[in-house]
Structure 1
Amino acid sequence: MHPPSRQFPLHLHRRVSLKLTFDFAADSALAFDELQCHLEVDGQVQAPYGSGVYLLRQLWSPARQQAQGPTREARLVNGYLSEIRADHWAILLELKRAGLEPTAAAIQQQWQSGRALSAQLMPLYEEHLTRLHQRSGPDRLSQHSLYRWNRGYHQLKDYLAQQQLTELAITGVSIGLAKTYYYWLRARPLSIDSAARYVGHLKEVLQFAVEEDLLANNKLTAWHIKAQPPKTVYCLSPAQLQQLQAMALPQPLDVIRRWALLSCYTGLDFKDAVRLARHPSAYLVHSAHGAKIVIQRLKLKALPRAQPEWGVCHIPLLAEAKVLLEQAPDWPPVTIQRVNRNLGEIEKRLGLPFRLSTKICRKTAGALFLLRGYRTEAVQKILGLRHLRTLERHYLHLYSELVDDTMRQQAHPKA
């Protein structure tokens, strides 16, 4: 198993040594006596305690740890001792799932109490994640699916931390909690598909609990997220992009504008645009047809064991981007939070009906390359998108200019 770059805690699967043996009390000479449990966990030895099993001393073999002889009594005793060992191992796992340290004293106390522990949600999520990573053959999930599962784990962890529910038991997961989690995801903001996927992961973890006999029923099976229309995809029109390029701004906002324009003319996420601006020569490739930018998207480097080829962007170096890159060494460093915060002021000056952000700038590049005649397959590669349908869903319905421009070219072909 190769762990993802963003690892989830694996304390559930920390190796724990448990040894349980049985014998009669050393200070007793009774012919018929109770076998004592001798428990050792990670080298910690617990004082002997009663097993509840009584046996004739002459039938017990300490070396073989079993009752001897062909009698029905011996078979029943050995079966019960086997169940006691299994119970101790089960309690060890229950303690882990409940977020508790599996010490020898805790295991003894829980076994003697006979009370069932309620597994905590996040430790159980971790266990399910580990099993997903350990699948092999045709049942193994793709690297992209495993990455999404890990992302979902961190989303749920952040949500529970904000709600002060870090020690939530699986019995406390209700439809109401799942709904508030869904709306919290949408407000981040995440798309409907992403939010529904992460809630689906939560539902699957609860189903795993049912299959492990940790939960009587999965409450979330009764709730289904209603289909909603896809969210509107915004980007700057050619006129708005020209307005952004030409507008005069005070120095602090002007720097933000330049960073935004670099994303608009390359389609790079902000962090990738920073890498390009700081070391352009490392990513520029020159050919007989002109220069292009070849860069691996940082976002996809988080995929476990993968540097997907579809995530390597091949971006034609537009004249506007070339000018910006020549100026970039003089730009002061900024954070993505600062850029997005100040883009709100630029948005007001442009009079945009939508929120301007670095993501909008990246989407603007997709529309821009389409309007400049690049085929959809080429724009897919420019943006480093895995699926062509993502591009089609986001861009092909945005501009009537695509149709108008094609009609113009057919009506007035170049000589």
Structure 2
Amino acid sequence: MNNSVKRTKLSLPPTESKVMWKPLVDYKGQYEVSDLGQIRSLQSGNIVRTQLSDSGTSYVTLRPLGSELGTEVCAFIDELVAKAFLANPKNYKRVVHIDGDLQNNKASNLRWNTDVVEAVSSQPVIANKPEELCIPVKINQSGKPVVGRRKVAISIRFRLRPVVSGKGYHYTHPIQTTIDKSLGQKPSLPAPIQIRITVEGQEDGGFYLRWPEFEKPNPLLPWDGEVVTVDRKLWDQKERKLKGRHSEIIAFNDELRKTELCLRNILLIQKQRHKSGIGPLPTVRTVKEEYTTGQPPAYSGIGHAQLSSRDSLLNVYQAYCKFLLSQKSTQHELSANTLDKWEYGLNYLKRYLGEIGQREIRATEVNRNFLKRYRLWLLQIVVGNPTQLYLKKLMKKSTAAEYCGKVQKVLEYLQDENIAVDAGAITMKFERSKGKSVYYLAPEHIDRLFTLEVDKFLSPALWWIKLMCLTGLDYKDAKLYIQNRQAYERDGTEGRKIVITRSKKPCNECHIYMLPELDELLSQKVPKAYVLGYFNKKSREIAKLIGFQQDFTSKICRKTAGNLMLRRGFSMAGVAGIMGHSNVTTTMKHYVKTDGALVDEEYKSIVFKRASNRPFSQIHKAA
């Protein structure tokens, strides 16, 4: 009897005899890509490790030669191969896998296409795999595959933020308008998209997805842009993407996938930094911070030798204040005013713990109830400088919430050092005061301001007030502009404009077109500039002369400029560009508001346009 076992060889696809390599687009001299879908580094000669996204698409992490750690970019292999080996005369943006296998990135299996019908072939196919290459799965005693749930390093979910029924979000992203037009439907109610991430079991409360309004999202600037909105009826919450096979929808879902890869890449980079000793332990907070700001999270360099679970809350608070001071002359440097507030917070905390007899309470013992009691105590104390204490003015809700938030920051600091703290205390929300009303000079105040005649003691302040009302510049930036006008004035497409970077962080750029009134003002002799405190004092005297009842400071001039630009016809986004704001939300919330004068200006422009477009009606009326 023959007991020999017949052995069969595993049949594998034949190995290609010739592999063609080409320089990688945008990375010439650093990486090469083959027609088989491999990426190799020219510096080391090694094949770059391939990673797999949740959607089944292969991608690699690339870093430009000579760049610093933290500048890596995720790139899909199919796009890299197509750009190198396939012609794209019609400038298509979508790469299709011919056999439907998303991991088969050979050049012969790819083609450029935007056809919605053929794009369906990009779905993963499992059944057509050769039997020899199929891998058996582990099954349980019932004969069914075991379906389990494993803990992943990061989980990324997209969801629609709830809005009031029947009213959409206050802003509609142009990408939603484009999709509505491409589907041939009427403008839909906007619903904003939020991102919720979970890192090592810690979940974030969610933040808005932002894309540029009229450009393709940039993986290197994921925080740049406005809130992305979509039609709620097109959203598939289970799949967390838009429903449909239209090319615009497919392209939109592809960008969502790239956003997900960007977040995963940030976590990977932060792990590398932490392993190298140049970054904190990655947490949900650090990943969110780097994604939304584009800056690596600050790292103290203070390890567990200095901080432990036995340290008191006051000791950890003081250690965190020292860490904030150590960031001087770096991109994370805080202003002197912000550092003073941290010092005030430490003094309030010492005072509170002394009154309740718990100065040695450990930071790890702080919980939600501690923060609730601390907040109530803050709301009952009298605040103000020594000359104002007789007013017995109590601390506002927003200020109390700010000081409680500083304690939460200290707990996050411990958490980043891998010391367990009460997670509920960190995520706790506090009630805040209602937002401040937006005050600015009304049209009648502006008329009085520009016709006002004052003595020589007030005339310099009056000139600077006019300048700031016409430009929207802060007092400090206005002085810089006057000192060297030629360095900031440029020729725009519609006339002369001022382009200046704000001194206040985040140091955004302002683009201010020069109004005729500004040209007339600059033709006058430039007076001497006061220090800010003296300027505000003189400004209050001028405010009384023009009948302005509110407290007048240099900020009133800046807000007046915002409202003035709105009445001149600028959009809200245009005003944000003039003021140097990062997004429209800041402009809407703190600097401008609608009023009767603005409605009058809008109506006047509408009537004028209607009359100019119907010249024969004017002739008929004249006859």
Percent sequence identity is: 26
**Which of 136, 153, 157 in structure 1 is aligned with 2:343?**
157
Aligned pair partner of 1:265 in 450, 467, 470? 470
SS at match of 1:359: helix
Unaligned runs of 5+ in 2: 1-277, 280-297, 363-370, 389-394, 613-623
**Residue 411 of structure 1, CA deviation:** 2.5
SS in 1 for 2:524: helix
Any idea what SS the aligned residue of 1:356 has?
coil
1:53-132 alignment, distance < 5 Å: 90=305, 93=307, 119-120=314-315, 122-126=317-321
Partner of 2:26: none
Contact 2:411–2:421, Cα closer than 8 Å, also in 1: no
CA contact (8 A) 1:182 1:196 kept: no
2:578 maps to what in 1?
382
> Which residue of the partner structure matches residue 512 of structure 2?
315
Deviation at 1:281, TM superposition (A): 1.3
Query: Within 5 A, what are the aligned runs for 1:329-344?
Result: 329=526, 331-344=527-540
What CA distance in whole angstroms lies between the structure 2 residues aligned with 1:294 and 1:378? 14
Q: Which residue in 1 is equivalent to 2:558?
A: 362
SS of residue in 1 equivalent to 2:511: strand
Runs of 4 or more consecutive aligned structure 1 residues displaced over 6 Å after TM superposition: 115-118, 130-133, 147-151, 161-165, 180-185, 190-195, 210-223
CA pair 394-14 structure 1, distance change in 2 beyond 3 A: closer
Q: Supply the distance in 2 between the matched residues of 1:338 and 1:238 (Cα, whole angstroms).
A: 26
Output the CA distance in 2 between the equivalents of 1:116 and 1:292. Answer: 56
Partner of 1:324 in structure 2?
521
Deviations, residues 132-170 of structure 1 (Å, cap 9, x unaligned): 99xxxxxxxxx8xx67799754422255579997x9967
Change (3 A) 1:157 1:359: same
After superposition, give the CA deviation of every residue in 1:96-144 in whole Å (9 maximum; x if it has no partner): x9xxxxxxxxxxxxxxxxx9777425423247769999xxxxxxxxx8x
Relative to 1, partners in 2 of residues 1:324 and 1:125: Cα closer, same or farther, differing over 3 Å?
same
Q: TM-score, normalised by structure 1?
A: 0.56
Deviation per CA, 1:37-73: give whole Å up to 9, x if none: xxxxxxxxxxxxxxxxxxxxxxxxxxxxxxxxxxxxx
Alignment partners' CA distance in 2, 1:350 and 1:151: 32
Could you tell me how far 1:391 is from its partner in structure 2? 2.0
Please give the secondary structure, in 1, of the residue aligned with 2:519.
Answer: helix
CA gap of 1:252–1:363, structure 2 versus 1, over 3 A, is same
Which shows bigger deviation, 194-203 or 375-384? 194-203
* Cα distance change of structure 1 residues 281 and 199 upon mapping to structure 2, 3 Å threshold: farther
> Quick one: which of 237, 247, 253 aligns to 2:442?
237
Map Cα deviations across residues 317-366 of structure 1 (whole Å, 9 max, x no partner): 1122223333354x113111111122121222222221111000000000
Alpha-carbon distance change, 363 to 261 in structure 1, aligned in 2, over 3 angstroms: same
Partner of 1:137: none
Provide closer, same or farther for how the CA distance between residues 397 and 288 of structure 1 changes in structure 2, counting only shifts above 3 A. closer
Residue 399 of structure 1 corresponds to 595
User: What amino acid sits opposite 1:392 in the alignment?
Assistant: M
Q: Secondary structure at the match of 2:510?
A: strand
**1:360 is paired with a residue of what secondary structure?**
helix
In the alignment, residue 523 of structure 2 is paired with which amino acid? E
Change (3 A) 1:199 1:360: farther
Once residues 578 and 449 of structure 2 are traced to their aligned partners in structure 1, the CA distance between those partners, rounded to angstroms, is 22
Aligned mates of 1:271, 1:149 — CA distance in 2: 15
Q: CA deviation at 1:312?
A: 0.4
**Relative to structure 1, is the Cα distance of residues 149 and 346 closer, same or farther in structure 2, using a 3 angstrom cutoff?**
closer
SS at match of 1:233: coil
Q: More deviation in 227-236 or 215-224?
A: 215-224
CA contact (8 A) 1:344 1:355 kept: yes
- Cα displacement (A) at 1:251: 1.3
Partner Cα separation in structure 1 for residue 560 and residue 447 of structure 2:
12
- What is the SS of the residue equivalent to 1:412? helix
1:272-311 aligned at under 5 Å gives the runs 272-287=477-492, 289-300=494-505, 303=506, 311=508
Residue 387 of structure 1 and its aligned partner are, at CA, apart by: 1.4
In structure 1, C-alpha distance between the alignment counterparts of 2:522 and 2:495, rounded to whole Å = 16
Contact 1:286–1:292 (8 Å) recurs in 2: yes
Distance across 1 between alignment mates of 2:379 and 2:580: 33
* Cα distance in structure 1, aligned partners of 2:456 and 2:350: 42
Higher helix proportion, which one?
1
- Give secondary structure in 1 for the equivalent of 2:523: helix
Q: Distance in 1 between matches of 2:302 and 2:543?
A: 51
Separation in 2, partners of 1:394, 1:349? 26
Q: Which has the higher contact order (CA 8 A, sep 6+)?
A: 1
Alignment of 1:14-33 (within 5 A): none
Query: d(CA) in 1 for partners of 2:479 and 2:327?
Result: 35
In the TM superposition, residue 241 of structure 1 has moved relative to its aligned partner by 1.1
Instruction: Provide closer, same or farther for how the CA distance between residues 223 and 13 of structure 1 changes in structure 2, counting only shifts above 3 A.
Output: closer
CA gap of 1:211–1:388, structure 2 versus 1, over 3 A, is: closer
Q: 1:361 to 1:118 in 2, by over 3 A?
A: closer
Deviation of 1:408 after TM superposition, in Å, equals 2.4
Q: Please identify, of 381-390 and 190-199, the stretch whose mean Cα deviation from structure 2 is larger.
A: 190-199
CA 121–248 in structure 1, closer or farther in 2 if over 3 Å, else same? farther
Indicate how the Cα distance of structure 1 residues 211 and 394 shifts in structure 2: closer, same or farther if over 3 A, else same. closer
What is the distance in 2 between the residues matched to 1:130 and 1:276? 31
Q: Which moved more, 1:223-232 or 1:360-369?
A: 223-232
Contact 1:129 1:149 in 2 (8 A): no
Give 1:254 deviation, angstroms: 1.4
